[in-house]
Amino acid sequence: MKRLFGTTLAISALALVAGITAAYAYDEVEVKDGGKIIGQVKFVGNPPKFDPIKVNKNQDYCGNEVQVEALIVGKEGGVKFAVAYLENIDKGKAIVRNKPADVNQKKCIFAPHVFTMVKGTDLATTNSDPVLHNANMEMKKEVTDGDETGGIQMFNFGQPKQNQVYIKKVRKLGQVKLTCDSHTHMRSYGMVFDHPYSAVTDESGSFEIDNVPPGKYTLKMWHENWKTTGNDEDGRPLYGKPVVVAKEVVVTANGTAQVSFDLK
Ligand SMILES: [Cu+2]
């Protein structure tokens, strides 16, 4: 009887674990013979020139103007701060939970300007400046929602002290926009996925997504958009809805798939 009781308990515990796991769309498994997806996001043609954005507060520390980060094109046309991600992947490599995604308010800009993270993990917002920043995070349901579309406010947090860190668990999927209530020129975008298969492009427009279980996937590229639609009440440019492009990709065992995206 004792053994039977133990077995029943074990089965109940398993059922409980299974029940919890079923609530999530993504299962963490050991990936065997995983492949890699590498690629580049390129700007086609001559990139537009932007006027700098005026700083409306703390000019003695922040400077009078900042460069536009909506479109950063490097040598040979590579686009920085685009996001490449797999759509609808339901199992794969482990999610890193012990290291929060970092957004630093440094020299009066959010760094990085674009980041990705996994739902249920932490976002750490630091103020490295000796001036007050007030990070305001808004969540959009759709990754294609633009600046003017309403979102859900996730937090609104003043950080008057230098080196102050605020940690917040992000529990929703979608597109996060960070603004600063003190400095209207400050913007950062985050993409929150239920899996760890995403990457932000570097200065050369390159990205790499590794340890992907072999199979056929939809790879998407997101870019915040740089085409202005007007200005907000502070004179800051407003941009069109984010650009999202989808491509099919086949990942073979221990192979490397190459995918490129054009922006124009
Ligand atoms: Cu600020």
Write down the mean pLDDT value for the chain: 90
Give pLDDT tens digits for 102-129: 999 999 999 999 999 999 999 999 999 9
**CA of 57 relative to ligand 1 center, distance in Å:** 9
The reported pLDDT for the residue numbered 235 is 78
Question: Does residue 12 register a pLDDT over 70?
Answer: no
The reported pLDDT for the residue numbered 145 is 78
Site of tokens 């993990």: 121
Contact 28, 197 (CB under 8 A): no
Fold of the domain spanning 2-263: Immunoglobulin-like (2.60.40)
Token couple for 67: 């460069």
Question: Does residue 18 register a pLDDT over 50?
Answer: no
In whole angstroms, give the CA distance from residue 49 to residue 243: 19
Give pLDDT tens digits for 248-260: 999 999 999 999 9
Residue 143's pLDDT band (boundaries 50, 70, 90)? confident
**CA of 40 relative to ligand 1 center, distance in Å:** 32
**CA of 125 relative to ligand 1 center, distance in Å:** 12
**CA of 108 relative to ligand 1 center, distance in Å:** 6
Sign of the C-alpha dihedral, residues 214, 218, 223, 224?
A: negative
**CA of 119 relative to ligand 1 center, distance in Å:** 25
**CA of 62 relative to ligand 1 center, distance in Å:** 9
Q: What region does 143 belong to: left with phi over 0, alpha with psi -120 to 50, or beta?
A: alpha
Contact 39, 260 (CB under 8 A): yes
Question: Does residue 100 register a pLDDT over 90?
Answer: yes
Give pLDDT tens digits for 196-230: 999 999 999 999 999 999 999 999 999 999 999 98
Give pLDDT tens digits for 43-94: 999 999 999 999 999 999 999 999 999 999 998 999 999 999 999 899 999 9
**CA of 83 relative to ligand 1 center, distance in Å:** 24
Question: Does residue 22 register a pLDDT over 50?
Answer: no
The reported pLDDT for the residue numbered 149 is 67
237-239/35-43 β-pairing = unpaired
Q: What pTM does this model have?
A: 0.89
Question: Does residue 11 register a pLDDT over 60?
Answer: no
Q: What percentage of the chain's residues is helix, strand, coil (to nearest 5)? A: 10, 50, 40
**Percent of the chain topping pLDDT 70:** 90
Token couple for 66: 């900042």
Query: What are the start-end ranges of the H helices in 56-123?
Result: 59-62
